[in-house]
Amino acid sequence: MGSLILTLKCYKPLASIKFSPFINSFHTLQLRPPKPNNRRVFRCFSTLNSSPNVIDDKSNGKTDGDDKPASASTQLWLYNTMSRKRELVKPKVEGKVGMYVCGVTPYDLSHIGHARVYVTFDVLYRYLRHLGYEVCYVRNFTDVDDKIIARANELGEDPISLSRRYCEEFHQDMVDLHCLPPSVEPRVSDHMPHIIDMITQILDNGFAYRVDGDVYFSVDKFPEYGQLSGRKLEDNRAGERVAVDSRKKNPADFALWKSAKEGEPFWESPWGPGRPGWHIECSAMSAAYLGHSFDIHGGGMDLVFPHHENEIAQSCAACNNSHISYWIHNGFVTIDSEKMSKSLGNFFTIRQVMELYHPLALRLFLIGTHYRSPINYSVVQLESASERIFYIYQTLHDCEKALSLLDAAALKDSIPPDTVTSINKFHNDFLASMSDDLHTTVVLAALSDPLKTINDLLHTRKGKKQAMRLESLAALEKTIRNVLTVLGLMSTGYSEVLLQLREKALKRADLTEDQVLQRIEDRTVARKNKEYEKSDAIRKDLAAVGIALMDSPVGTTWRPALPLALQEQAVATS
């Protein structure tokens, strides 16, 4: 974070716990807060063993059946907000990555802007593990904050109790969205000694001052202030979460500690009772679990200033060895080109969206645009994502069903050369796209070819006659499944997801399964009676609400589809 002229006494890493690297990756660690001023730094690394096989053309398509993660030597490039360019990721400790992502302020249900942040970093977390890195992923809860206090007072509830309740709601949202738990999930309320210790060090190093029980950081003492956001000090004003206060030496100075006010929770400190400012909390907790120097710090684009800018200033003021290698930020979710946020009142909660759409459809919608670009929330895109998830899962379900008719032991240990080529091309496209700043959009597009190959093998005359057809199906299904796992789009069972997608489609159409089946029966009768105008009207009416009919020699079935009006809107937009 840059060198400072002053010689600073370094604020020491806070953690006193070490864990085995063989921690169960799918359970968040329940930790007691580490004690401050201990020299040992907490490490909690985990890997994801779910890599698609790369088949060697020279091996005649043979596979060993192991899903080994890709080598950590695979180059990963990420866009660094600090340098404003893509950079090759070189962890400070070979083979290990420390990552801190700013968590939610739990005073209400989370909206899909929050969902985008944590889906984005879940994809990064999964991909780092896929590449073979051991990852310590720290994501906090800001459970002491002005907004929590205001909401608690409004509801007549204890602030800590309210924040705890919404932390659990957030956990459920993350489970629904297939976000893996972080390695550690610290809360501000559990880390007051660490926060107080860091503020003390900043004061001792001459970067802060006391005013009537409050402690402010002096931005004038930190000449590199603005390096992340590109803002000049003279352009900064008191703004978001920075109170206007005539007692401050510079309007841009921000609170490290706020003196206690009536009706608010407080903690004892050397400066009197009070509570921490917003920014100091993340500096203290990231140092507690990752040390002062680690690899990745992430969050939404709205955190670049003032939050992350202030974090840099605080952390460097506490320890001049503080350094974060890569600052990663995702773009906004917008509505009518305006950022979605609770403060603007133009948001949809994750729960509201999932009332009508499957969580996998929402996740696909969120990763269907490159993480640094804004996403404009629209029903058309959600419907399209839902239809695409149905197609993916229907294809894999049909494949699984075909394979279930044959004893796995009867499958040969090789596959045709063209299938080998197809799998390797898909795998290489996957690695190249994900390693180029997480281009999930390219990976999702690349899925089309192997999915089409599966459908050809299942449903076309030529495909059904292909040599080693079932072996090809098994290899393709496994490859796609493993890539979907890295993207966080893989569920426990294909049929279960298909059923849930159909139920959501019926809810959006305001129909029951029995009503749809009755309309199908009415249409069948109309066709037998050569009442084609009536049968066409039934098909069109159902299509208008997102129910597509599919005729086959064995009868008519239905599937979710983009409603006709939205199809026309999508065509007009494109």
* 184 plus 98 within the same structural domain: yes
* 348 plus 395 within the same structural domain: no
More confident residue, 51 or 214: 214
* 488 plus 521 within the same structural domain: no
Instruction: Look at residue 176 in the predicted model and tell me its pLDDT.
Output: 98
Q: Answer yes or no: is pLDDT of 63 > 90.
A: no
Q: Answer yes or no: is pLDDT of 422 > 70.
A: yes
Query: Which of 484, 422, 483, 428 lies closest to 454 in space, CA to CA?
Result: 422
Which has the minimum average pLDDT: 48-57, 104-113, 441-450? 48-57
* 206 plus 346 within the same structural domain: yes
317 located within any domain: yes
Which has the minimum average pLDDT: 20-34, 316-330, 432-446, 552-566? 20-34
Phi first, then psi: give them for residue 239, nearest 5 degrees: -150, -130
Q: Answer yes or no: is pLDDT of 77 > 70.
A: yes
Q: Answer yes or no: is pLDDT of 288 > 90.
A: yes
* 191 plus 298 within the same structural domain: yes
250 located within any domain: yes
262 located within any domain: yes
* 281 plus 384 within the same structural domain: no
Of 312, 337, 353, the residue that ends a domain is 353
* 298 plus 327 within the same structural domain: yes
45 located within any domain: no
Q: Answer yes or no: is pLDDT of 44 > 90.
A: no
> Using one digit for the tens of pLDDT, what is the confidence trace for 240-272?
445 667 889 999 999 999 999 998 999 999 999
CATH label of the domain that carries residue 344: 3.40.50.620
Is residue 250 within 8 Å of residue 221, measured between CB atoms?
no
In the chain, % of residues over pLDDT 90: 76
Average pLDDT on 544-567 reads: 94
* 164 plus 264 within the same structural domain: yes
548 located within any domain: yes
Instruction: Look at residue 313 in the predicted model and tell me its pLDDT.
Output: 98
Average pLDDT on 359-383 reads: 96
* 442 plus 518 within the same structural domain: no
* 406 plus 343 within the same structural domain: no
Domain that holds residue 519: 510-572
In the chain, % of residues over pLDDT 70: 84
58 located within any domain: no
Structural domain count of the chain = 3
Is residue 129 within 8 Å of residue 328, measured between CB atoms?
no
At 369 the three-state DSSP class reads coil
Average pLDDT on 432-444 reads: 98
* 311 plus 443 within the same structural domain: no
Average pLDDT on 481-499 reads: 97
Q: Answer yes or no: is pLDDT of 43 > 70.
A: no
3 state SS for 264-325: CCCECCCCCCEEECHHHHHHHHHHHHHCCEEEEEEEEHHHHHHHHHHHHHHHHHHCCCCEEE
> Using one digit for the tens of pLDDT, what is the confidence trace for 174-208?
999 999 999 999 999 999 999 999 999 999 999 99
68 located within any domain: no
- Mean residue pLDDT of the chain comes to 87
Q: How far is C-alpha 133 from the geometric centre of its chain's CA atoms? A: 18
Of 304, 321, 353, the residue that ends a domain is 353
